[in-house]
Amino acid sequence: MTFEREGVLFCYLLAIFLGIAGITMVLLAGKKWASELNLAMKLFLAGMLIMSLYDMILYYTDYVIGDIRDMLTLRIGSCIIAILFYLWLHLEQKIAATDEFSALQRTAKIYIFFYAILWFCSTIVFTINYFYALRWILLVTDIILLLIMLIGSVVYISKCILLHQPKSTIYYMVIVTAMLIWNYASYFWGEASVYWGNSRFIREPLDLTIIFWFVVNIATVVFIYKADFKDAYETAKDDSAKAEFDLDKRMDEVAAAYDLTGREKDLSRLIYEGKSNSEIAKLLYISESTVKTHVYNIFRKMDVKNRMGVTCIIRDGDQRNKDGETN
Q: Where are the domains of the chain?
A: 2-232, 236-316
b/e for 233-251, b at 16 or more Cβ within 10 A? beeeeeeeeeeeeeeeebb
Q: Do domains 2-232 and 236-316 have the same CATH topology?
A: no
Backbone angles phi, psi at 257, to 5 degrees: -70, -35
Q: Minimal CA–CA distance to 54: which of 1, 15, 6, 109?
A: 15
Count of residues in the chain:
327
Question: pLDDT > 70: what percent of the chain?
Answer: 75
Residue 148 pLDDT: 92
Residue 46 pLDDT: 92
Within 225-316, residue ranges assigned H as helices are 230-232, 236-243, 247-257, 262-272, 277-284, 288-302, 307-316
Q: Which amino acid is at 245?
A: F
E-strand stretches of the chain: none
Residue 267 pLDDT: 92
* Rounded distance between C-alpha atoms, residue 63 and residue 6, angstroms: 10
Residue 312 pLDDT: 87
Q: What is the DSSP string of 12-79?
A: HHHHHHHHHHHHHHHHHHHHHS--HHHHHHHHHHHHHHHHHHHHHHHHHIIIII-----HHHHHHHHH
What are the CA-CA distances from residue 277 to residues 31, 126, 284, 294 (Å)?
Answer: 24, 45, 11, 10
Residue 152 pLDDT: 93
* Rounded distance between C-alpha atoms, residue 216 and residue 221, angstroms: 9
b/e for 114-134, b at 16 or more Cβ within 10 A? ebbeebbeebeeeeeeebeee
pTM attached to this predicted model: 0.66
Residue 226 pLDDT: 79
Residue 129 pLDDT: 62
* Rounded distance between C-alpha atoms, residue 36 and residue 273, angstroms: 9
What are the CA-CA distances from residue 48 to residues 23, 108, 151, 231 (Å)?
Answer: 10, 19, 21, 24
Residue segments in the chain with a per-residue pLDDT below the cut of 50: 68, 199-206, 235-237, 241, 320-327
What region, left, alpha or beta, does residue 324 occupy, with left being phi > 0 and alpha being psi -120 to 50 degrees? left
Other Cβ atoms less than 10 A from the Cβ of 321: the count is 22
What is the architecture of the domain spanning 236-316?
Answer: Orthogonal Bundle (1.10)
For the 2-232 domain, the top CATH level (class) is mainly alpha
